[in-house]
Amino acid sequence: RVDAVDGPAESGVHAFLHVDADGALAAAADVDARRAAGERLGPLAGVPLALKDVITTSDMPTTAGSRILDGWRPPYDATIARRLREADVVVLGKTNMDEFAMGSSTENSAFGPTRNPWDMTRIPGGSGGGSAASLAAYEAPLAIGTDTGGSIRQPAALTGTVGVKPTYGGVSRYGLIACASSLDQAGPCARTVLDAALLHSVVAGHDALDATSIDQPVPDVVGAARRGAEGDLTGLRVGVVKEFGGEGYQAGVEARFNDAVAQLSKLGAEVVEVSCPNFVYALPAYYLILPSEVSSNLARFDAMRYGLRVGDDGTRSAEEVMNRTRGAGFGAEAKRRIMLGTYALSSGYYDAYYGQAQKVRTLVARDFEAAFGRVDVLVSPTTPTTAFPIGERVDDPLAMYRNDLCTIPSNLAGNASASFPCGLADEDGLPVGLHVMAPVLADDRLYRVGAALE
Ligand code: GLN
């Protein structure tokens, strides 16, 4: 039993912002009682799960890692939360994250960082560091993350766990507090590939409440994981992205990546090198598109509608209360991105920045299209380095942003991608992730590859 946030069970990892011990125990007892009564149970009955605190839950607070949502209780459950309950999953609580999912280390959480269970002086990745750390610390077997530029895959890589970003529109965004709506995608986090597939199959599928939800059958991810586990990849064409590697990549990361590629070929896959020339522009384009959407999405936190309200003593105007609330409620990174985005969208600059970035986005999507004409999946390291020390990159946003070099193209294009553990780097003994990218709605291919390597 997890008794309290930061209690003995967490041992300083700080994966959770909120633990619903009573609710979880009641849900587990309910599953037991219904099982004893011979009732038909959901597919993940009684399995505990950690939910990233950006998913709204009517029975628990939801903070998105921000002070600005202080005291706010969502009036409804996100579709993901509802589907988890229908599957009889036991939700343990809400996990720590970078504020509004902006960050690569979980150090931007207003509630303090999460530590990497592999080395408590290091970050667990971000923004979904809490979800990944809860798995690596064996606090939960399953977790839900969200991935706007890598926030499921990068923490998975740095904690030696499995993280999947489904095809954009594959999992409902209804009730997911928006970071950048055209990039955000929730998905499964787990310690094994089959566990991730089972969770994927429970949360994925069309939702009329999300206008961008895809109205098509969910790919057979569980079947693919089971077939992949047989270890035969004959007929699979794998493309190694030429642009990702070399300078800036840690030697131990490259070594484990090369081992994984050699293993794929040993299992029967045909491996070729593929060039995606526009992928190198994905990162700068993302850091215009994302802040633009953030500046618009975070405008709703106006001191009137949600959570925190500062300075409302009856003498101040609504505008002043709003200014004080946003000043006190948002952290430095949220403010930086609101300002960048407001600038990029302002008249006179829109075409030069936002408009150009959208063109790059199209070029990145075309690179994927061309590549997937030749191969079934693309691979790269998930991150250029293993987990870095807490504090190392907090004052250097550009160094922080470079973590997402390899993961961002899939968010721009909307295709499915995942990170699978592929061993430990020699120099520091820390986990390395293999990044696998598949076409839109071919999420099953990720699981086939991941399970074959496991
Ligand atoms: N680290 C990236 C960012 O800061 C990705 C965030 C995410 O995927 N939510 O924007």
Domain count, the chain: 1
Cβ distance 424 to 256 under 8 Å? yes
Q: Ligand 1 atom 4: the closest Cα is on which residue?
A: 103
Question: Strand, helix or coil at 120?
Answer: coil
Q: Ligand 1 atom 5: the closest Cα is on which residue?
A: 149
Known active-site residue 347 = no
Distance from the CA of 228 to the center of ligand 1, in angstroms?
Answer: 30
Residue 101 CA: nearest ligand 1 atom is 9
Q: What's the chain's average pLDDT?
A: 96
Dihedrals phi, psi of 237, to nearest 5 degrees: -100, 125
Q: Which whole-number Å values give the CA distances from 228 to 125, 232, 444, in the listed order?
A: 28, 7, 10
pLDDT confidence of residue 3? 40
Structure tokens at 109: 């959480």
Residue 333 CA: nearest ligand 1 atom is 4
Task: Report the alpha-carbon distance of residue 321 to residue 315 in Å, rounded.
Answer: 10
**Is 9 a member of any domain?**
no
Res 359 pLDDT > 90: yes
Class of residue 352 by CB neighbours under 10 A (exposed 0-12, middle 13-18, buried 19+): exposed
Q: Spell 40-75 as b/e; 16+ CB within 10 A means b.
A: eebebbbbbbbbbbbbbbeebbbbbbbbbbbebebe
Convert the pLDDT of each residue in 236-264 to its tens digit.
Answer: 999 999 999 999 999 999 999 999 999 99
**Is 361 a member of any domain?**
yes
**Is 69 a member of any domain?**
yes
**Which among 66, 99, 107, 127 is the best mutation to test ligand 1's pocket, defined by most ligand atoms within 8 Å of the CB?**
127
Residues lining ligand 1, Cβ inside 6 A: 101-104, 127, 147-151, 179, 290, 404
Instruction: Among 10-14, 46-50, 350-354, 369-373, name the one with the lowest average pLDDT.
Output: 10-14
Task: Report the alpha-carbon distance of residue 23 to residue 91 in Å, rounded.
Answer: 8
**Is 311 a member of any domain?**
no
Structural domain for 259, as ranges: 16-284+354-453
Say what angle helices 332-345 and 282-297 make with each other, to 10 degrees: 100
Task: Give the residue-averaged pLDDT of 375-394.
Answer: 97
**Is 274 a member of any domain?**
yes
Convert the pLDDT of each residue in 143-182 to its tens digit.
Answer: 999 999 999 999 999 999 999 999 999 999 999 999 999 9
**Is 202 a member of any domain?**
yes
Dihedrals phi, psi of 286, to nearest 5 degrees: -60, -40
**Which among 53, 96, 151 is the best mutation to test ligand 1's pocket, defined by most ligand atoms within 8 Å of the CB?**
151
Prediction ipTM score: 0.97
Task: Report the alpha-carbon distance of residue 366 to residue 411 in Å, rounded.
Answer: 13
Task: Report the alpha-carbon distance of residue 218 to residue 211 in Å, rounded.
Answer: 17
Structure tokens at 443: 């999420």
Task: Give the residue-averaged pLDDT of 40-55.
Answer: 98
Residues of the chain with pLDDT > 90, as a percent, come to: 96
Contacts of 328 (CB under 8 A, 6+ apart): 67, 308, 310
Convert the pLDDT of each residue in 173-222 to its tens digit.
Answer: 999 999 999 999 999 999 999 999 999 999 999 999 999 999 999 999 99
The active-site residue, picked from 151, 172, 380, 419, is 151
Distance from the CA of 231 to the center of ligand 1, in angstroms?
Answer: 33
> Is the backbone peptide bond immediately before 58 cis, with ω within 30 degrees of 0?
no
pLDDT confidence of residue 11? 76
Distance from the CA of 386 to the center of ligand 1, in angstroms?
Answer: 17
Distance from the CA of 183 to the center of ligand 1, in angstroms?
Answer: 10
Domain CATH for 198:
3.90.1300.10
pLDDT confidence of residue 166? 98
Known active-site residue 419 = no
pTM score of the predicted model: 0.97
Residues of the chain with pLDDT > 70, as a percent, come to: 98
